[in-house]
Chain A
Amino acid sequence: MEKLRYERPLIKRLESEMPNKFGMKIDHFPKTHIDGVPVKQLIEDYGSPVFVLSEAGIRNTYKKAKKAFTTRYPKVQFAWSYKTNYLDSVCNIFHQEGSWAEVVSGFEYDKALKNGVNPKKIIFNGPDKTENDLTKAIINDSLIHIDHLDELYTIVELLETLNKRPRVAIRVNMDTGVYPMWDRFGFNYENGQAWDALNKIMASGKMDLVGLHCHIGTFMLSAKAYGVAARKLTDLALGIKRKFSHNIKYIDMGGGFASKNTLKGAYLPGYDTNPTFDDYAEEISSALLNAEYPPDSLPLLILETGRALIDEAGFLLGTVISNKRSATGKRTTIIDIGVNILFTSFWYDHKITPAQEFTQFTEETTLYGPLCMNIDVIRENATMPLLNKGDYFVIHNVGAYNMTQWMQFINLRPKVVLIDTNDKPHIIREGETMDTLNHLEITPEHLKKFEL
């Protein structure tokens, strides 16, 4: 007779507490497959842990976002935010869909060039552009978004030797009614810094001021803030038209749209409460369409959406190492995924689902990673089904930032697998080996030997 699936014995005291009006249902369905490929198979073939990306998921989300904006506004262009996930395969999916590249360093700029992006369709953002970076961007006619006056003066200086007229925009920061206000990047709208920079660009006569850029924050839970930002950029654009008879060709609203993750401290899951693409699109497009632009000279709307386009397409598959009980009696579970590869666990209460059948019985559980470090906590408190040692599980919505902000620490970083639209898995980044790290190290001759 086949034995039954084991579940550890559980007893729970029934508490009569205040009713919880934010009570949430427990997901009672295991995540056994990703795009038709069994999770068990993926772990057996590629190891545990392993990142898995869904190509279909990426493309579907992109199409959804594009539709939300293009149905409301006639001129829309997305630019893939490289820092969100700059694996070449991921970038190229977005480029195939029509996205330009948005980069914030010389490294990312070179990556976009290597991927074959037309340099005229690379937007160069960020506060750290070296003279070499700027020279390259000027020669290649890329779009340079100026972050501070030192950068502006550097460009003016470089133009003394370069026979070019660069296409530039400025990044504008502003009060959109949300806290915290991001004022460290770009020029402030309210105190006149932005106008000062625009006047200097126009007075120089050496640059083509083509756009205005803002990026008002990250994981913005208020779509209305984008409406405020779009109106303020529009005010600048129309002011430039009045003062210099110069048309601003594009308004770049940056990124910051929330994905479906749940921020730590939120009462309800992000899937139910975070704004949708339609919410953001409605605010931004209304602000632009209702402004005083003549109908034939509406600016191009550029969006540098990153997180919201890729988070849902990313999964991190792992294995239970051990179940323990803390000194206070709390259930704790150790898993083979640490904060070093799941950086976003510092911000989100990630949804975690077993990859095999389970019962309705649950336990309040702290999920610890495998690192020998106290900070390695993936979930402080999660209502988890009863996982056994060796069970597989899936962490959802991990596509953004984890594959760029991850760090090699204590363990080697795992493989990244992409499931294509025909449900075929491909390794798109190999797992690290000892050689990956060792080839960077140089041990002086006198430190090569020792006796113990």
Chain B
Amino acid sequence: MKMKSNIAVSDSGFIFNPDTGESFTVNPIGGLIINQLKEGRETQEISRLIRDKYNVQFATFEKDFDDFIGLLRNYSLIENG
């Protein structure tokens, strides 16, 4: 799973998709996940990173992470395949 390479992400959580002209905002955890995906990290690595940094149980984060990835896919921010 990989973010599309032309997606622009700012430090303040602003995201721009030049393919569609759409822009988005993300919260800090969302931004962290997107940056990790852009760097090519695997989902397990990202999950571990978040759980090390934030007070969250594995099951809760897995559910939220899947939901978030679903949204990224829905907004066409992730490479197909």
Contact = CB atoms under 8 A, between A and B. Distances in A.
B23 A388 contact: no
B55 A10 contact: no
A10 B71 CA distance: 9
Contacts of B45: none
Contacts of A5: 54-55
B53 A359 contact: no
A266 interface: no
A14 interface: yes
A184 interface: no
Contacts of A25: none
A6 B55 contact: yes
A329 B74 contact: yes
A200 interface: no
Bin the interface of chain A by size: 20 to 34
B54 A11 contact: no
Interface in B23-45: 23-30, 33-34
Interface in A1-58: 3-14
A13 B55 contact: no
B43 to A, nearest CB: 13
A7 B50 CA distance: 11
Contacts of A9: 26-27, 29-30, 33, 64-65, 68
A361 B54 contact: no
B30 A11 contact: yes
> Interface residues of B: mostly helix, strand, loop or mixed?
helix
A115 B67 CA distance: 55
A3 B54 contact: yes
Contacts of A361: 27
Contact of A11 (B60, B63, B65, B68): B68
A14 B23 contact: yes
B19 to A, nearest CB: 14
A359 B22 contact: no
Contacts of B53: 3-4
Contacts, number: 69
A325 B56 CA distance: 20
A292 to B, nearest CB: 65
B8 to A, nearest CB: 14
A426 interface: no
Interface string B44-81: 00000000111110001101110110111011000000
A10 B27 CA distance: 6
B67 A13 contact: no
A389 interface: yes
Given A11-B15, A11-B72, A386 B55 contact: no
A386 B53 CA distance: 18
Given A8-B64, A9-B65, A9-B68, A359 B27 contact: yes
B64 A11 contact: no
Contact of B24 (A6, A11, A323): A11
Given A6-B54, A13-B23, 14 more contacts: A3-B52, A4-B54, A6-B55, A6-B60, A6-B61, A8-B68, A9-B27, A10-B27, A11-B34, A12-B24, A13-B24, A14-B22, A14-B23, A323-B63
